[in-house]
Structure 1
Amino acid sequence: MTTTAQEKTNLRPTAAPARGADVRRHELAAFLRSRRERITPEEVGLPRGTRRRTPGLRREEVAQLSAVGVTWYTWLEQARDIQVSVQVLDALARTLQLDGSERAHLFQLAEAVDPTPAASCTGVTPALQEILRSLEPLPASVQNSRYDILAYNRTYARLMGDLDAVPPEDRNSMILVYTHPEWRRSIVHLEETRRLMAAKLRASMAGHLTEPAWKMLVKRLIAESPEFRENWRRYEVMDLRARTKEFLNPYVGRLTLEHTDLFLNQASGARMVTYAPADDGSRQRLEQLYDLVCTG
């Protein structure tokens, strides 16, 4: 029995259904386009011009603001099969002004883990929050081994300025001590503190060398702080230990405090960072600070 040309055509295998990765890439592309088109140039500090036809931002503007190549970003919106790093996703989320839900959706579509502190706060239980509140007027926070500040009480929020005003993705002690003006002014022995913190970060990083969030943190610090670059090149290491710290608080003046880490999970490095007054004057000024934040 012979087979006609038409029958041969019918016998050809049909196209395979779209793979999950293909569907995900197209959904990511559509999501990026929709977010890009809703933002006006004025919202990101760009002139509108007189010949703009594209709703929202142009692709090249998003690429420029996110420090990625125009061709690469165009391919991303065309759903091409390209690799997307967490650093690029973080930059795009900032440029496109994504809120918490949108940012989580972006990382989920890209099958990536969001490295920001805001994405890591699920382990801070209501009971732990209550413990932080009960410690006041002692400043206290919950941090992980990468120095992300996951939770804090009111006196900690005003210990070195106004932590509430800092974007969640920047609430990291390493970033703040090396780049934030208020934090730098508040630490009496700044250079020594920076050197010790870089040494502690290097020691902690030994078990996380391949993790994107850690590499992203170090890359950012190297790019933004010459002081960090210098300290990082020293290859010094130091473990966590209790020590006396001095602060020049912008609200109540000089504070001498005993720093203690209370580990919540030794394996993950999660710990409660606490500060107790080292003298009566510091105790009184901490109480003044607490009164200020409660009435302010």
Structure 2
Amino acid sequence: MDRRELADFLRSRRERISPADVGLPAGPRRRTPGLRREEVAQLAFISTEYCTRLEQARGPRPSREVLAGLARALRLSDAERDHLHHLAGAPPLPPTGPSREVRQSILDLLQRLPRAAAIVTSASFEVLAWNGLAAALMEDFSALPRRDRNLVRRVFLGPHTRGQRLYGVSDADAFARTSAQRLRAAAARYPDDPDVAELVGELLAGSEEFVRLWESHDVSAEPALRKTLQHPLVGPVTVNCDALAITDRDQQVVIYTADPGSPSEEALALLSVTGTQRMDLTR
């Protein structure tokens, strides 16, 4: 552990962040640039005394949990987070399962796509992030527990709302086939991840279709570039589907756009206004 370098690094990262960057009020009489130590401690879930000792090169070696909290509080990049671990004498461990942490820049990107529905999925098809139009087009993911945000679980095990698989998407059967193949590849990449093992076990126990696809041992499939979703309020919405790989985290940004001037573009525009409210319900 390099206490002096660690102290200097933590202080330099703290001083570059403004309170507004992390949703804190600026407040009066800020004599130092960036965040105060007590603010970093609050965001990292550690004591102010411990944070102060680390910055004064007097602290004991921080645990991996503390390092994760500091990296989150200081909004470190992947390279900076690895550097933090090395300075603390705790080299970063290789991931045992699909990453569930979405970079802030990707979260910002989703919100800058007001005319497109966009989600971020993990290697095991968990929806990790979404924008408002995606929630309006598919489902309000924020209202679901984590396990129910998994698209491969949903396509095979439901719920199938109004008898339709996966929001009534036109390529539901093809998606089921593709997701089974990609999940097999993910299970090989993360053989020690309990969440992936539990998901596969649940699908094998609950879906004969998944068993058949799993036993084929196929691990590749052609992506669907265009699909139609059956929406209960605006009817069929046909979208182009483009997936952008985030290779360092084994994630995908999936973006759904409608052809300019099409009825589906008008439908998306309406959904961007109505959001997730159900205007089709009678009182």
How does the TM-score come out when normalised to structure 2?
0.56
Give the aligned residue type for 2:125. Answer: Y
Structure 1 vs Structure 2 CA RMSD: 2.7
Q: Do the aligned residues in 2 keep the contact of 1:160 with 1:250 (CA within 8 Å)?
A: no
Q: How far apart are residue 125 of structure 1 and its match?
A: 4.0
Give the aligned residue type for 2:180. Answer: A
The equivalences for 1:204-219 within 5 A come to 204-219=186-201
Aligned to 2:239: 257
Distance 2:202 2:114 in 1: 33
Distance 2:159 2:184 in 1: 21
Number of aligned positions between the proteins: 179
Q: Do the aligned residues in 2 keep the contact of 1:140 with 1:152 (CA within 8 Å)?
A: yes
Higher relative contact order (CA closer than 8 Å, sequence separation 6+): 2
Distance 1:256 1:227 in 2: 26
Distance 2:170 2:106 in 1: 30
Aligned to 2:204: 222
Distance 1:177 1:283 in 2: 26
Q: How far apart are residue 176 of structure 1 and its match?
A: 1.8
Q: Secondary structure at the match of 2:107?
A: helix
The equivalences for 1:164-183 within 5 A come to 164-178=142-156, 179-182=158-161
Q: How far apart are residue 166 of structure 1 and its match?
A: 2.0
Q: Secondary structure at the match of 1:130?
A: helix
Deviations 1:225-255 (A, max 9, x none): 2322222222222157461122111221111
Q: Secondary structure at the match of 2:229?
A: strand
Distance 1:251 1:114 in 2: 41
Distance 2:222 2:195 in 1: 21
Distance 2:193 2:200 in 1: 11
Distance 1:165 1:181 in 2: 17
Distance 2:106 2:249 in 1: 16
Q: How far apart are residue 197 of structure 1 and its match?
A: 1.8
Aligned to 1:271: 252
Q: Do the aligned residues in 1 keep the contact of 2:115 with 2:257 (CA within 8 Å)?
A: no
Q: Do the aligned residues in 2 keep the contact of 1:161 with 1:250 (CA within 8 Å)?
A: no
Rate the CA distance shift 1:240–1:213 in 2: closer, same or farther, 3 A: farther
The equivalences for 1:86-125 within 5 A come to 121=100, 123-125=101-103
Aligned to 1:141: 119
Largest Rg, 1 or 2: 1
Q: Do the aligned residues in 2 keep the contact of 1:161 with 1:249 (CA within 8 Å)?
A: no
Aligned to 2:50: none
Rate the CA distance shift 1:246–1:150 in 2: closer, same or farther, 3 A: same
Q: Secondary structure at the match of 1:227?
A: helix
How does the TM-score come out when normalised to structure 1?
0.53
Distance 1:263 1:209 in 2: 21
Deviations 1:31-64 (A, max 9, x none): xxxxxxxxxxxxxxxxxxxxxxxxxxxxxxxxxx
Give the unaligned 5+ runs of structure 1: 1-112
Distance 2:136 2:207 in 1: 24
Does residue 247 of the first structure (1) align with residue 229 of the second (2)? yes
Aligned to 2:215: 233
Q: How far apart are residue 135 of structure 1 and its match?
A: 0.8
Identical aligned residues as a percent? 27
